[in-house]
Amino acid sequence: MSLPWCNRVSWHLLIAGCALLGGYNQSVIAAGITLPQAIDSAVQGNKDLQAVRYNVEQARARLLQAGLPPNPRLDISGGNDRLFNNQGEYTAGIGISQPFPVAGRIAHQKDVARVDVALALAEIRQAELKLAGDVAFRFYSLLALKRQIEARERLIDVDQKLVLVTRNRFKVAEVSELDVNTAQLELQRLAQERALLLSQRTTQLAQLNQLLGRSATQPIELDDTLPTSDPLPSLADLQRQALSLRPDLRFALLNADRAQANQALAHAQRWEDWTVGVGLAQSRQVVDGAPPQGSTRVLGVSLSIPLPLWNRNQGNIAEAEANGTQAYARIEALKLSIGNEVASAYAEVEHLQQVLSVYQSNSLAVSARNVLLVQQGYDQGLVPISEVVLVQRQQGELNIAYLNALDQYLQALTRLHIATGNYVETTLEQKIPNG
C-alpha cells in the first residue's frame, strides 16, 4: 500500500526524530580502543613520559655515588742541596693518607639519595596521572564531537527531505520561493556547522595521537561506549581515597622525609672527615769536619682532626630545619587543596548528572514531538515554513545544548578521577630501595 507523499514525509520525519532521540539515550558500542586501553598505550608509548623515566636512573646513580668513600691520597716529597753546598744532603718521603668520616656522613648521604630515588618514582607516577587525565579529556571530547557530528548529520537528513518536499510544493504553486530559500539556507547552515566540527575532530585526533606517542595522522578508532551514570560514592570516601592515592601528596610526604634526612646529614657534617696518614721518609745529613753520615729512614703516622670552632655548619643546619618546617606546611596545604578539589569536582558531576537526566527524560522527547507536529502542520498547509525551520532549529539547539552538557559531564568526571588519583594503577616500585 502506497502512502500519499505528505504522509511519507511525516513518516520519515518521525523515524528521523526517533533516531535523533535514541542516539542520545543509548551508548553506541563500537569496535575500537577503550579509554583504559588508550591510557595504557599512552603510558607505554608517550615520548615525554619515557624521558621522565630516566630521572630514576639518574637518582640511582646519585645513590651509588653517595655511598662511595673518599679516595686515599698518595703524598710524595723530597729535597736536596744541589743548588747550594752540594754536599750530598737530601730528604725524601712517600706516604698514603685516607680521610675517614667520623659522624656517619656517608650513611646520611645515602639516606638522602634513597629518598631521591623514591621522589623520582613518585614524579613518574605524577606524570602518569597527568598523562592519563590528558588522554581522558581528549578521548571524551572526541566522543562528544562524534555525537555532535552525528546530530548534525541527522538534522541534515531531515532538512534535505524538507527541502525536497518544499521544492515539489513550489512546483505546484503550493508554497513560495521564499519557503524554498529558507529551507535551503537552513540546510547550508547545518552543513557548515558539521564541517567545523569535523575540523575540530581532526585536531583532537592529532592531539590524542601525540599523547599516545603516535604520528598525528595515524588512524585510530575509539570505543564509543560512554561511562555509566551510576550514583557516586560518598564524598568522604572519595576524599579519603584521594589522600591515599594522589601522587603529588606522596611527593610532598617524600619531600618531608628528604628534609629530615638532610637535617641529619647537616648535623653529621659539623665534623669534617678525619685524615689518617702513613709515610716513609729517608734523609741524609752532612756535618762539616765529621765522617760521612749514613742515610736514615723514618716511618711516620699522622692524624689530622679539623676542629669545629667557628664553622659548625650552622647555616646548613638552619636551612635544613627550615626546609623541614616548610615541607610539613606544604603537606597540610596540599591536603586541604585535595579535599576541596575533590569536593568541587564531585559537586559538578552530581549537578551535571541531574541536568542530563532532565534532558533525557523530558526535553529531548518533547522537542522531537514538536518537530513531528509542525511538520504535519506544514504538510497540511496549516503552518508556514518559517515555523517549521524555527521548531527544527529549536530542536537542533536543544540537542546541541544536551551534547554540550554531556561533554561538560565527561570532562567533570575526568577531573573527579584525576582529583582522586585513581586513573593509573601503580606500575612502578614505590618502596625506597636499599643502597
What pLDDT digit, counting tens, does each position of 107-131 carry? Answer: 999 999 999 999 999 999 999 999 9
Burial class (CB in 10 A: 0-12, 13-18, 19+), 413: buried
- pLDDT over 50 (residue 258): yes
How many Cβ atoms are within 10 Å of 253's Cβ, its own excluded?
Answer: 17
- pLDDT over 80 (residue 13): no
Model confidence at 20, in pLDDT bands (50, 70, 90)? very low
Which residues, in sequence order, are CB contacts of 258 under 8 Å at separation 6+? 112, 115, 116, 119, 327
- pLDDT over 90 (residue 369): no
The pLDDT, as a whole number, for residue 253 is 95
Task: Give the model confidence (pLDDT) of 198-224 as tens digits.
Answer: 999 999 999 999 999 988 888 888 888
- When pLDDT is averaged across residues 293-306 and rounded to a whole number, the result is 86
- pLDDT over 90 (residue 81): no
Question: What nine digits make up the cell of 268?
Answer: 653529621
The pLDDT, as a whole number, for residue 392 is 74
State the Cα–Cα distance between residues 303 and 273, nearest whole angstrom: 11
State the Cα–Cα distance between residues 222 and 37, nearest whole angstrom: 10
Q: Partners of 98 in the beta sheet?
A: 276
How many Cβ atoms are within 10 Å of 342's Cβ, its own excluded?
Answer: 25
Least confident range from 12-16, 38-42, 226-230, 304-308: namely 12-16
Nearest to 155 by CA among 366, 363, 398: 398
Q: Partners of 95 in the beta sheet?
A: 75, 279
- pLDDT over 50 (residue 156): yes
Least confident range from 23-32, 234-243, 406-415, 426-435: namely 426-435
Higher-confidence residue of 18 and 423: namely: 423
- When pLDDT is averaged across residues 320-325 and rounded to a whole number, the result is 94
- pLDDT over 80 (residue 6): no
Model confidence at 292, in pLDDT bands (50, 70, 90)? confident
The pLDDT, as a whole number, for residue 360 is 82
Which residues, in sequence order, are CB contacts of 410 under 8 Å at separation 6+? 140, 141, 143, 144, 226, 227
- pLDDT over 50 (residue 350): yes
Residue pair 347/355 in contact (Cβ under 8 Å)? The answer is no
Least confident range from 42-56, 275-289, 316-330: namely 275-289
Average pLDDT, the chain: 82
- pLDDT over 70 (residue 27): no
Higher-confidence residue of 117 and 286: namely: 117
The pLDDT, as a whole number, for residue 31 is 55
State the Cα–Cα distance between residues 317 and 373, nearest whole angstrom: 81
Half-sphere exposure of 59 (CA within 13 A, CB side): 22
Q: Partners of 302 in the beta sheet?
A: 277
Give the helix ranges, DSSP H, for 212-313: 235-245, 247-268
Q: What is Dmax (Cα atoms) for the chain?
A: 148
Residue pair 346/236 in contact (Cβ under 8 Å)? The answer is no
Angle, vertex CA 104, rays to CA 326 and CA 97, nearest 5: 130
Place of cell 515555523: 387
Q: Partners of 33 in the beta sheet?
A: 222
Residue pair 222/139 in contact (Cβ under 8 Å)? The answer is yes
Model confidence at 423, in pLDDT bands (50, 70, 90)? confident
Model confidence at 138, in pLDDT bands (50, 70, 90)? very high
Burial class (CB in 10 A: 0-12, 13-18, 19+), 201: middle
Residue pair 294/284 in contact (Cβ under 8 Å)? The answer is yes
- List Cα–Cα distances, 60 to 43, 63, 113, 258, 429, in angstroms: 22, 5, 8, 15, 13
Task: Give the model confidence (pLDDT) of 169-198 as tens digits.
Answer: 778 777 678 878 877 888 898 899 889 999
How many Cβ atoms are within 10 Å of 287's Cβ, its own excluded?
Answer: 10
Q: Partners of 80 in the beta sheet?
A: 90
User: What domains can you pick out in the chain, each with its CATH number?
Assistant: 5-68+101-272+308-420 (1.20.1600.10), 72-100+273-307 (2.20.200)
Higher-confidence residue of 3 and 271: namely: 271
- pLDDT over 90 (residue 308): no
The pLDDT, as a whole number, for residue 424 is 53
The pLDDT, as a whole number, for residue 416 is 93
- pLDDT over 60 (residue 435): no
Nearest to 121 by CA among 337, 404, 431: 431
State the Cα–Cα distance between residues 406 and 355, nearest whole angstrom: 9
- Highest average pLDDT, of 60-64, 88-92, 398-402, comes from 60-64
Beta-strand runs (E) in 121-234? none
DSSP one-letter string for 376-434: HHHHTTSS-HHHHHHHHHHHHHHHHHHHHHHHHHHHHHHHHHHHHT-SS---S--SPPP
Model confidence at 28, in pLDDT bands (50, 70, 90)? very low
- Highest average pLDDT, of 27-41, 74-88, 303-317, comes from 303-317
